[in-house]
Structures are given as structure tokens and as C-alpha cells.
Structure 1
Amino acid sequence: HVNYTWDNRISFSHLFLLGWDSTREINAYPPGAGPLAVYKVDEFYSALDYAYAGYSNLTNAIGPYSYNNEDNNKTDPQFCTYYYKKGIIHGFNESYEFNSEIVHKCINFTNGENEVFKSQKLIESANLEVNFAALVRAELLFSLKTINFRAAGPITPPDCFRFDVKIIFDNEDHDGQMSLTLDAEPFKLTCKGDKTYITDNQIDQILRSVLNILVILICSVSLILCSRAIYRAQLLKELTCQFFRRAYDKELSLDGRLEFLNIWYIMIIINDFLIIMGSAIKEQIERNHFTNDQWNICSLFLGIGNLLVWFGVLRYLGFFKTYNVVILTLKKAAPKIFRFSC
């Protein structure tokens, strides 16, 4: 799902962003190309015209995209501007008029079937003034529907999605460079399906649910036991402090108190919590209980939890004579390494 939504975002960039090319699809350092931006007024309106033309001609796209209504008729995109309430610059005498309150206004891009679309004329006819000195951000909004057949098989049916596409013209820096970006937020829809498509085999879904529930149960037991161990250690610490006051008439040192706090148990509690949350989100996604795509959040929880699990494995390596020296060296050097990296 993550790859599918990302690939669609790339496809939308090719279809709707003026000046987009394949070199921008790869994150490289140093980047292979400069930022995608507009620098002239006519380039701004040309970018809007290009996006509207791509939206109006979805049949030219290889992807099976449809408009966001039941009869597949084109809905009007929405154009919104965010600008300072007052922003006038007189550069010749170093003076200005400025009100930092940001206001916004939206209009629909409506055009006849056989008419040539000109965004500048439509914006002017709607009494929407685009003052680039005061403009903070402009957005073109529309939605598309599509169906993913790639993962379809005898067990998994096709998935239906709606993408809320947002083309952003960012002029927040007011440096003469208005960056042009595209964002596409996926929302999973309930497919009406095909009457001839049979999905009686639920074995795969049942096995995934059993695995998710088993992981949640095991991690829950681990979390409870580790929490119980930390709680009992704190009770023992209080008894030890009372013993030191009664027998030696002094307080237990801070280092002595910290001996009762097992950091390894705390790390296990954290990674158990993350894995429980990630598995629960994964189960909800697979049951189609989420309307939008939550795979990124799910991957974040499970990934960090798994990373902490492997950190915990290092403690067991310390029990072996061969690896004990290495683990102790890493333990002693870690504070200095972190200090150097910061």
C-alpha cells in the first residue's frame, strides 16, 4: 500500500505539475536538480492551466483514474489563496504597508466544454486579486478515484482508493522563488466489487488476524511482567532506604537508588507498547476499519519497536564470555559517542 500510494503520487506529479521530470523522483544528495518552482507571473498561471488541463483529460492517463462522483462527470477543482490582510511594498523608498493577519479565499475553477481554460481570466472575473507581495500560499484542490488490481488474487480482492490531490504554490519566504509541490492523501473506500469475483477463501485473513492477536497477547504479558518487576524493585528500594536510615543513620546514595531501576525493563515496556499499538493498527487496516491510509504510522510503531527488541538482544550477548568484552566496551563508550554526535 505504501509503494502504491507513493507511485500514484509520482504519477500525479507527471500529470499535473508543469516542469516535473524523472530526476525529481529519486532523493539524492546532492540533488540532481534544483527545486521545482515558478519565478514569473505568467509561469504561475501557466502552472495552473497545465494542472487543470491534466485534470480535464484523465482519459489520456495510463492509470485508471476517475472523477470523484458516481457518474464520473468532472467536478470543479477548488483554487484557494492564503495572503496577508494587507501587504504593499514600495521598494523604491523603503516603505511598506503590512498586516500580518492571514486570510484565505476559495473559488471553483469552472469552464465550459469547448472553451479554452485561462486561469488568469477566471480569477480576475471572480474578483480574486492575486497580490504576490502579500500571497503566502496558493492551493489547487481536487479528488480522484482509482482501483488497485495489482494485489488482487484468489484471496485478496482489489482495493479502492480516493486521492485528495493538493497542488501547493508556497510563497511563504517571499524570496522570488515560489516552490511547486504536490501532495496526495489516500483514503480507502469500500469497493462495490464484481458479482463474478468470489472471495469465499478467508484463510489468509484469519491467519493474519491470529498472528496479530498472538503478538498483542505476548507483548501484553511481557509488558505486565516487566511493569510488575519494576514496581517490586521500587518497593525493595524503599525497604533498603529504611534499612540504611535505621542501621547506618544515613540516606542511600543516588547511585545506589538507581541500581533498583532496570533500564532494560523500561526499554522492553516501551517496545512492547509500540508493537501492541502497531499490531492493533495493522489489524484495523486489514479489517478496513480505517478510512484513510495508516500504513506509515503502523510501520513507524512496528519499526521502532523491532529496533528496541534488537537492542534488548545485546544484553543476552553479554552473558557470553566471547562477546562480554565488546558489550562492556560499547556500554562505556556510548555516552562519549552520543556527546560527540550531538
Structure 2
Amino acid sequence: RVTFSHLFLKDWDSAREVAAYPPSVGPLALYKIDEFYETIDYAYSGYANLGNAIGPYSYTAEDNIMTDPVLCLFQYKEGTIFGFNESYVFNSEIDETCMNVTHNITTSKFFSKDLLDAKNITINFSALVKATFSIALKTVNFKAAGPITPPDCYKFDIEITFDNSDHDGQVLLSLDAEPVRLVCKGDIEYVTDNKIDSVLRSILNYLVILICTISLLLCSRAIYRAQLLKNITVEYFKVHFNKELSQEGRLEFLNMWYIMIIINDIL
């Protein structure tokens, strides 16, 4: 998330990466209309120039062609304010407008304001509740936990949110990245000559086998002795009370937990 914030959030500062109380900086927010469009332009530019990132990021298309980001606007159906005479027109129903952000970055610089004008979409910031800018990318993580651990592959669904729900002149800016685990395809050369690692794994395997064997023997002995005690009890009831021990009473000598442990040790 920190890496994506540096790549796609305009004016992101490293001070925001340190969890401190009280916070050393205020919330990341926008206060001017131009800043809103510039933030979208910055995110699009960062996504279009993904190859400049140090991280091994790729687009989600099979041929690694840039996929279109999606810009969504959530606005009140009516939200016009006439501050000079304290009047307004308001309809609390929220309209959602989503569009693919398509542009050839090699021919000209991207401007979100021009895109919206071309689609005949006007943002009324008095009525704007929220806006989202969504992109997706893939990556392969070579960070391995051990010499025989394969790399991990992920897809990240990234969403930049412009939150104007409070309508206080401050549009809060945030970024969320949702990871999705993917099945990797690749050639892996494992390290097989690590003798210390091999010896440690062998010791662990032998230790597990030894403990399971001891557990199996002890549980089997406990069940066997319980059955001997059951036979003695049955005989006692016959001799002294001239009656058979009930089936429920016989089952009291059979501990199902021991049976489960024995099955687990065998497996």
C-alpha cells in the first residue's frame, strides 16, 4: 500500500507512513477544484508509466497492454447552493456515473478535465459525494521464506477514493489495495545443496515420527487397560449383584479421544 501511495497519490509524503499519536501530519485532502483533476491526472500518469517503478509490476492483460482505469462519480441528483440568499435545490438520490479512462499517453499528456468535457460530464462539487479511480496490476514476489519456497503471484485491485461526503470543503483522499492470490507459472531452480537445512528437516521429521509413535503406544495401552478394567467390572457385577453391566456402562470404558489420537498418529 505504501508503494502504491508513492506511485499513484499526488503529494504523498513519507511522514504519513509512520504511525504516531498524535499524528504528525493531517489527513491527505484536497481543497481546490484544480487539485481534484491534477490528482486524477497524476494517478493516470503513474499507471501509464508503470515500467518506471522499481517493483516488478505489470498490467493485467495477457499481452501486458495497459488496461483502462475506471473513474466513477457519485453525485446527488440535485445539489445546487445559492449562498448569497441562503437557498438551495436538493435531491438526496445519488446518481452513479462510471467511465473507462481511455487515452493514448504517447501522443499527448492526459488531462481528466478534457476527458470529462469530451463526454459532456460536469462535476458539481456541491453535489459530489464521492469519486473513485480504479486500476489493477499484477506482480510476482521473489521474497522467499526458504530455499525451496516458490515465488508468490498477486493481482492488486487498487482504488483511489475522493471522499466528499461531509461537504465541508475538504475532500479526503485515500488508497486501498486489495490483493488476490494467483497461480504462478514459471521455471524455478531450487537450492538443493543446503546440507544444514536438509539435516534440520530430517531431525524434525524423525522427531515427529518418534512423538507420534510414543503417543500411539501410550493411547493403545490406555485403551487396552480400560478394556481389562471393563472385564473385571462386568465379572464383579455378575458375582456380587447377579446382573449384567449395561451397554452404557460398558461404553464408559471406551475413550473416543484416545481413538481419535490413534487414528491421527497413524495418518
* Cα drift, residue 152 of structure 1: 5.5
Within-5 A mapping of 1:102-141: 102-112=94-104, 113-141=106-134
After superposition, the CA RMSD in angstroms is: 2.2
Please identify which structure carries the higher helix content. 1
**2:174 counterpart residue number:** 181
Within-5 A mapping of 1:51-62: 51-62=43-54
Q: Distance in 1 between matches of 2:19 and 2:123?
A: 33
SS of the residue 1:102 aligns to: strand
- How many residues align? The count is 198
Amino acid at match of 2:85: N
SS of the residue 2:122 aligns to: coil
**1:37 counterpart residue number:** 29
Percent of paired sites with the same residue: 58
Within-5 A mapping of 1:1-342: 9-112=1-104, 113-151=106-144, 153-194=146-187, 196-197=188-189
* Cα drift, residue 124 of structure 1: 1.3
SS of the residue 2:45 aligns to: helix
* Cα drift, residue 64 of structure 1: 0.5
Q: Distance in 1 between matches of 2:149 and 2:7?
A: 30
**2:261 counterpart residue number:** none
**1:288 counterpart residue number:** none
Deviations 1:26-74 (A, max 9, x none): 1211111111111000010110111111101111111110001111111
SS of the residue 2:117 aligns to: helix
Greater relative contact order, per chain length (Cα 8 Å cut-off, separation 6+) = 2
Please identify which structure carries the higher strand content. 2
Structure of greater Rg: 2
Deviations 1:235-294 (A, max 9, x none): xxxxxxxxxxxxxxxxxxxxxxxxxxxxxxxxxxxxxxxxxxxxxxxxxxxxxxxxxxxx
Question: Any stretches of 5+ residues in structure 1 without a counterpart?
Answer: 1-8, 215-342
Q: Distance in 1 between matches of 2:24 and 2:15?
A: 6
Moved over 3 A (4+): 196-201
Note if contact 1:152-1:158 (Cα within 8 Å) is conserved in structure 2: no
Q: Distance in 2 between matches of 1:102 and 1:154?
A: 54
Question: Any stretches of 5+ residues in structure 2 without a counterpart?
Answer: 193-197, 213-267
